[in-house]
Amino acid sequence: MPMTKIANKAKKTKNANKAKNTKNANKAKIMNVRLKLAELQKSRKRRLLPIDESSEMVEQQHRTEVYCVINRNMSSRIFQLELEKKN
């Protein structure tokens, strides 16, 4: 086999290996991101879980207060819109 043919074959092999390595590296990066996301979600779940009933009640009360405020704002906005329509 002539030298150029051998050199070309070696280049092709080298490029193929480079492509494989890049593909594997990208796969590893994606897996790392997925693992980090999973860890974040786990830690969030741990933080969001109530410790006992009293904290759960406080959380529930807070939610209700937030909903009340939202409802109050919405109803006042609706009332304003109705007044604007009348005028």
Judge contact between 66 and 58, C-beta under 8 A. no
pLDDT at 13 exceeding the cut of 80? yes
User: What's the rounded Cα separation, in Å, for the pair 54 and 60?
Assistant: 10
Same domain, 28 and 8: yes
Whether 12 and 37 map to the same domain: the answer is: yes
Rounded Cα distance between 3 and 87, Å, is: 92
The model's pLDDT over 27-36, given as tens digits with 9 standing for 90+, comes to: 888 888 888 8
State the total domains in the chain.
2
- Report in angstroms the alpha-carbon separations of 64 from 36, 57, 58, 60, 69: 33, 10, 10, 6, 9
Residues 1 and 43 in one domain: yes
What range defines the domain where residue 56 resides? 52-87
pLDDT tens across 15-72, in order? 888 888 888 888 888 888 888 888 877 776 655 555 555 555 555 665 555 555 556 6
- Give 79 or 52, the one with higher predicted confidence: 79
